[in-house]
Chains A and B, each alone.
Chain A
Amino acid sequence: DGGITQSPKYLFRKEGQNVTLSCEQNLNHDAMYWYRQDPGQGLRLIYYSQIVNDFQKGDIAEGYSVSREKKESFPLTVTSAQKNPTAFYLCASSTRDRGYYGYTFGSGTRLTVV
């Protein structure tokens, strides 16, 4: 079955450390997205990519970086510059025009600073 796989499910980061969240999709979607979800807030867009080797900053890109070397993969690195990284991170993908389903989401990664 097609879908999006995020790993790991839980991730712990020490102060000053960079960590990378994995996102892989086998839906043949062109576009991929990273969102951050905090309690009481809507999903906030971190980065998105509509085509391989190209990506754009979202509303809260500071302290994060991404790459899109393959259509299937869109990893997110949370750098030490992100001062409040504890959150639930969601990866999503879509056809370029968003289509009928809007986004297809992964199961999320919960990042905690220790």
Chain B
Amino acid sequence: EDQVTQSPEALRLQEGESSSLNCSYTVSGLRGLFWYRQDPGKGPEFLFTLYSAGEEKEKERLKATLTKKESFLHITAPKPEDSATYLCAVFGNQFYFGTGTSLTVIP
């Protein structure tokens, strides 16, 4: 059965303290893995798409990587404005969303 698991559920970081969020997946025929950022009370906002193992994408303090079983969202020297919920989604036969990681960056 296709599924997506994100960990940790919540993460608190001091400003400047780098860390990684994990998205583990099992899917038949991966057609894309997506990362979104969601602020409270708003819709998810697109960050990255990864298509194949070994692929990496970067945007400001964020870097997404992909293996055959999982993806990591690395956050380097985070700032308070990076606080949000980060959602992972995989597209195989259907689109499957993880439950998200709630990130809080403390000044």
Contact = CB atoms under 8 A, between A and B. Distances in A.
Say whether chain B's binding surface is mostly helix, strand, loop, or mixed: strand
Contacts of B96: 42
Contacts of A103: 34, 44, 46, 89, 95
Interface residues of A, number: 21
A42 B32 contact: no
A102 B46 contact: yes
Contact of A101 (B49, B99, B100): B49
Nearest to B5: A42
Given A41-B99, A42-B99, A42-B100, A102 B43 contact: no
Contacts of A90: 43-44
Interface centre among B34, B43, B44, B91 (most CB of A within 10 A): B43
B91 A105 contact: no
B31 interface: yes
B34 A102 contact: yes
Contact of A104 (B32, B46, B89, B91): B46
A63 B100 CA distance: 26
Interface string A73-112: 0000000000000001010100000101111111110100
Contacts of A42: 4, 96-100
Nearest to A59: B94
Interface string A36-76: 00001111010000000000000000000000000000000
Given A41-B99, A42-B99, A90-B44, 15 more contacts: A6-B43, A40-B9, A42-B97, A42-B100, A90-B43, A98-B91, A98-B95, A100-B49, A101-B46, A101-B49, A102-B46, A102-B95, A103-B34, A108-B42, A110-B41
Interface of A: 4, 6, 40-43, 45, 88, 90, 92, 98, 100-108, 110
10 contacts: A40-B99, A42-B97, A101-B49, A103-B34, A103-B46, A107-B42, A107-B43, A108-B41, A108-B42, A108-B43
